[in-house]
Structure 1
C-alpha cells in the first residue's frame, strides 16, 4: 500500500494512511542557509512544538504549494476551505523561528482523492510574501537529473519531541526511472532518491520540494507525495504536469467553491485514537473538573469481561473542536473515572480543566440523558475521527449485543454510517445537546460474535447477524456520575 509521508494530526481523515517514520531526509545534512521560497506549513493540531506538518513552497506572491494530502488532512476532509490558524513560515532553517510567517486564508486541493489522482494542494496567503517565488519547470526533468531535496522530517521512529528536527535538512540525489517507484503514476509523478532509500524524503517531509538547477536559479521539479517504505526512493508530484492547473488557480481562472462542512462543534479526540465528547450530568457544578465520554474499549488497557475500572490515574491528551472541527481547546485527562465493556461499552475520564474553564474557551458541553434512546428516534452521531456528523434513526434496541466475549445490554442498532474511527462518538438527540449513547462497533464481515462482528442475542437466546450494521452503547447508567 502506498504511504503518504505525513504524521497523523488530530484531524485524521480517510485519505491519510499510517506510515512508519524513518530518518529525516535520509543521507542529508543540516542546510547551511535558508531557501527564501521554501518553508513549513504550521498548524495548532501538529504533534510538534514548532507546529510543522508539511513542507510548502512559494509559487506566487500570495500562493504556496504543498501536497494535496496535507490540505485534505483537515477536520472534515474538505477539498476546498478556509482553515483556522494555519500559517506558513518561509525562508528559515528553523521550523520554530525566523523567516516570514503568513496566515493561510484558504486551501484548494487538486482533487478529492489526492494520493491517487494528483497529490497537490495550493494555499492562498492572507498577504503577499516579501520573497521571490520559485520558478516552475518548462519541461519534465529527465531521468538521472540531479535534485536537491529539503525537509523537516522525523529523525527517529517515535513520535516524540526528540524525533522532530528543528533545523532544515537537505540532500542531493537524482531522478530515478519510474520502475524504481512501485505503484507510481509515471505520467504525473517523479521517482526521486537513492535506489536503496539511503537518500530520500521521509515522514513529515510531505509537500517539501525537489529542486533542480537551471543556470543560477532553482526550479521546483516536484513535491514529496509518498513511498513504499524506508528502502526505496520516494514519489514526488511532477510540477510540470500540473503547471497549467497551478497557473489557472493563481490567476483566478479556477476558483472552486468551499466544500460544505458539517457541524462538528464539540467533537473531541482522545489521543487521536478515539472520538469523544465533554459531557455533564444532573449533578454537575461549573466548578467541577469536566468529564469526557468515550468507549470502554478506547482505554489503554481494555477492561476484562465483567470488570469495571474506577478512579485510575491516567494522563491522555484531548483535543476539542469548534463548529468546523478545528481546534477549540486542548486538555489532558487526569483520571479514568469509570470504564467497562460489560453491560455497556463506555468510559468517563476526568479532565484537568473545569466546566467553567472550558465554557470560557467556547467549548460545547453536552448533557447525559437519564434515559435511553427509543426505536425510531432520530439521532446524530458527531465524530471527530470520521470528520463528519451523521443523521439517522435508532433502528432497534437490542436486548444483548455480544462481541468477542463481551456482552452489552440494551444496545442500539442505528443507521448512522460512522466507521471505526468513530468509536466513542456521542449519539445525540435532535436537540443537538442531549447524549443518549456512544457509537461502539460495526459488523464488518458478517461473522457471528467475533471481534468487529457483533451479533444480536434476543431474550430467548436467538442469535442474529446483520452484516454492515452499526451499534451504539447506552449511557443512561452514567447520568448521575460526578
Structure 2
C-alpha cells in the first residue's frame, strides 16, 4: 500500500539545529522548518495558540486540545520571530471542514490520551529552505529511556513567564513508560502506552507549546517527530519527576494515514 506521507525530503533542515543547547533558548532560525504556529481569529486579528507540525504540503498535525469548533484558524509556516515580518511566513487558512480531531479525544479527560488532530489546509504550503516537512516515525516505534529529543515552540520561557517572540528549543530526554508510570513520577493512571514522556527536570516543557513537536534524530540523521505536546504538571512546566507528556505519534500512524488518504 502506498503511504500518502512523503518518505523523502522530510526531516532534513537546511539550517542545522543547535544540538548542544541544554536549557531552553532561541532556536537557530528555521532549524525546525516543519514547526508551524496555529493561530485563531479574535476581533479581526489572528493570535498564536498552539504549535504543530507540517507533515504534508497541505496537512498539519497538532493536539486535539488545541482545537475548538467555534473558532476560525489559520496556520503560519516559515515563522521564526513573531514580532517581525521576515518575508518567509505563509499564512494559510484552515477551513472548518478541514479539521479532523481524533474521534476518541475527550476534552474532559486529557489523561485518557488520543490528544491528536489533523488539519487540512485550504491550499498547499510552498516548500523552501525555511519550510520543510517533518518525518513521522515508523508505526509502533518506541524510543529508549534518555533518548535525546528537542521540544520546539513559542511556549512560555518558565512557569507563568512571558511568551517569547522567537522560536525556542530545549533538550528533553525521553523518560520511558516504566519510569514515567512510577508512583513518584506521573504514576500509572495519568500515562497511557500511547503517550511519550520527556524531560522532568529544570528544562521541562515550557519552551514548547501545546500541539508542538518533540523532535528526535534517527540513526540516518533525519529528524522525526515522535511526540505532540499534550500536557504538563499543574505544579508548573519544570516540576521534578513530572516530565512533559506528549501524544506518541507512532501509536497513531494508522489513523494519520487513513485520515489523510480518505480526505485528500
Same fold (TM over 0.5): yes
**Is 2:39 the counterpart of 1:42?**
yes
Identify the structure with the greater strand proportion.
1
Question: CA 1:204 to 1:175, structure 2 compared with 1: closer, same or farther past 3 Å?
Answer: closer
RMSD value, Cα: 2.6
Match of 1:218 in 2: 223
Match of 2:254 in 1: 244
Q: Secondary structure at the match of 1:95?
A: coil
How far off its partner does 1:156 sit? Answer: 5.5
CA distance in 2, matches of 1:148, 1:203: 10
Q: Secondary structure at the match of 1:240?
A: helix
Asked if the contact 1:89/1:95 (under 8 Å) is kept, the reply is no
Match of 2:170 in 1: 171
- Structure 1 residues 139-158: aligned runs within 5 Å: 139-155=141-157
Asked if the contact 1:50/1:95 (under 8 Å) is kept, the reply is no
How far off its partner does 1:100 sit? Answer: 1.9
Match of 1:121 among 117, 124, 140: 117
Match of 1:134 in 2: 134
Question: CA 1:156 to 1:173, structure 2 compared with 1: closer, same or farther past 3 Å?
Answer: closer
Match of 2:23 in 1: 27
Larger radius of gyration: 1
Q: Secondary structure at the match of 1:43?
A: strand
- Structure 1 residues 75-474: aligned runs within 5 Å: 75=70, 83-84=71-72, 86-96=73-83, 97-98=85-86, 99-105=89-95, 106-110=98-102, 111-113=104-106, 115=110, 116-131=112-127, 132-138=132-138, 139-155=141-157, 163-178=162-177, 179-180=179-180, 181-182=185-186, 183-193=189-199, 195-196=200-201, 198-202=202-206, 205-214=209-218, 215-228=220-233, 229-230=235-236, 231=239, 232-252=242-262
CA distance in 2, matches of 1:204, 1:40: 11
Q: Secondary structure at the match of 1:252?
A: helix
TM-score (norm 2): 0.73
Structure 1: segments with no counterpart, 5+ residues: 1-25, 76-82, 256-482
Asked if the contact 2:37/2:52 (under 8 Å) is kept, the reply is yes
CA distance in 2, matches of 1:53, 1:177: 28
Question: CA 1:137 to 1:156, structure 2 compared with 1: closer, same or farther past 3 Å?
Answer: closer
Match of 1:315 in 2: none
TM-score (norm 1): 0.41
CA distance in 1, matches of 2:215, 2:46: 24
Match of 2:16 in 1: none
Structure 2: segments with no counterpart, 5+ residues: 1-21
Asked if the contact 1:52/1:95 (under 8 Å) is kept, the reply is no
Q: Deviations over 1:350-398 (max 9, x none)?
A: xxxxxxxxxxxxxxxxxxxxxxxxxxxxxxxxxxxxxxxxxxxxxxxxx
Q: Secondary structure at the match of 1:206?
A: coil
CA distance in 2, matches of 1:93, 1:119: 25
Q: Which has the higher contact order (CA 8 A, sep 6+)?
A: 2
CA distance in 2, matches of 1:103, 1:236: 26
